[in-house]
Amino acid sequence: MSKQFNKELDYRLIDFVESKPLLWVCTSNIYKRSDLKNAAWDDIAKQLGPNFTGTNSYQLFTVY
C-alpha separations of 9 from 2, 34, 35, 57, 60 in Å? 14, 25, 25, 11, 11
Q: Give per-residue pLDDT as tens, 20-41.
A: 999 999 999 999 999 999 999 9
Residue 1 has pLDDT above 50, yes or no: no
Cα–Cα distance for residue pair 22/42, rounded to 1 Å: 13
Task: Provide the whole-model pTM.
Answer: 0.84
pLDDT digits (tens, 9 = 90+) for 35-59: 999 999 999 999 999 999 999 999 9
Phi-psi region of 61 (alpha: psi -120 to 50; beta: other; left: phi over 0): alpha
pLDDT score of 64: 57
